[in-house]
Amino acid sequence: MTPTHSLIIPVYRNEEFVPALLEAVRGIAAQVAGTLEVVFVVDGSPDGSERRLRQSLPAFPVVSQLITLSRNFGAFAAIRVGLEWARGDHIAVMAADLQEPPELIIDFFRTLQGGRDVVVGTRVSREDPWFSKASSRGFWKLYRWLVQPQVPAGGVDVFGVSRTARDALLKLGESGSSLIAQLFWIGFERAEIPYHRRARPHGSSGWTLRKKLGYLLDSVFAFTDLPIKLLTVVGFVGTVAMLVTGVALVAARLAGLVEVQGYTAIMVTILFASSLILFGLGIVGNYVWRAFENTKGRPLGLVRSHHSYPETAAGRDAGS
């Protein structure tokens, strides 16, 4: 029987969370008004997450899929793979570290059943170390300013979509893009549900500052032409400044105020112009590189193995 609800859980370095995660999923399944399947996507995790799931899922009472990617493609790529394989009419995404409360998923499903196509969880508070809080606030502030102002101030980590919205998302096969920005770009009727982010009980998050910066750059170059506009402004201001400086230097030379041959002025001018050119080439190069990447048509994630539990469960049926 095709499930009515699908829950996607990307898994990366979450071996110690597996028992609590399965218990949380069991509780969600008991409250869903319909049938639930859970789609675990192991994103090239180097620990024993896949092994523990393979050991536990055959006896797990909830219909499940276990998808293992060929390497670590990133959480958002893993979520997209989960969206491709999900079979339910209502689909939600949940983090494996349980920092988002499981009851939030029940609210997602109820909202989707009520007719909304997109629902996002908005953090109103969080129990994280101060550096994590500060970097997260900075990241989402920049994200809202540079990429998508409709994103809630606390950011979006988990969300739910209808099958219609899921199909719309999967039509956007851009590489090096932003799934969250795409989620807001597609439109549809959207709802927001506030929640309190829990403290992480084990280990540290894999969502490092380096990954945040990389994702922010991907989002900027995929969804806004602001860097090009900034380059145009900088180029215009630089040109005006150079013209003014040039006129002043010529006037000073004619007035006999400059006795040195102008070595310093020439070097400053060359360095300034060269830096401006290199900066501009870097920005344009980023856009060209991303356009080139999208012409390759590479999949955003490659599946190494797929298992359904119980073993008699239906196989892939994402398109039905």
- Residue pLDDT, tens place only, 38-76: 999 998 888 888 899 988 899 899 899 999 998 888 888
Domain 5-206+300-309 class, CATH top level:
alpha beta
User: Which of the four pLDDT bands, split at 50, 70 and 90, describes residue 314?
Assistant: very low
Token reading at 278: 């290199």
- Find out whether 113 and 161 touch, Cβ atoms under 8 Å: no
Q: How far apart are CA 107 and CA 113, in angstroms?
A: 10
pTM of this prediction? 0.67
Q: Does residue 296 have a pLDDT over 60?
A: no
Residue 226: CB partners within 8 Å, gap ≥ 6?
Answer: 146, 220
pLDDT band at 156 (very low <50, low <70, confident <90, very high): confident
Neighbouring CB atoms inside 10 A of 109's CB total 25
The reply to whether omega before 310 is within 30° of 0 (cis) is yes
Whole-number average pLDDT of the chain = 76
- Range list of H helices, the chain: 18-31, 49-56, 75-85, 103-113, 130-146, 163-170, 179-185, 209-223, 226-254, 263-296
CA angle, corner 291, sides to 287 and 292, nearest 5?
115
Query: What sign does the dihedral 28-33-35-39 (CA atoms) show?
Result: negative
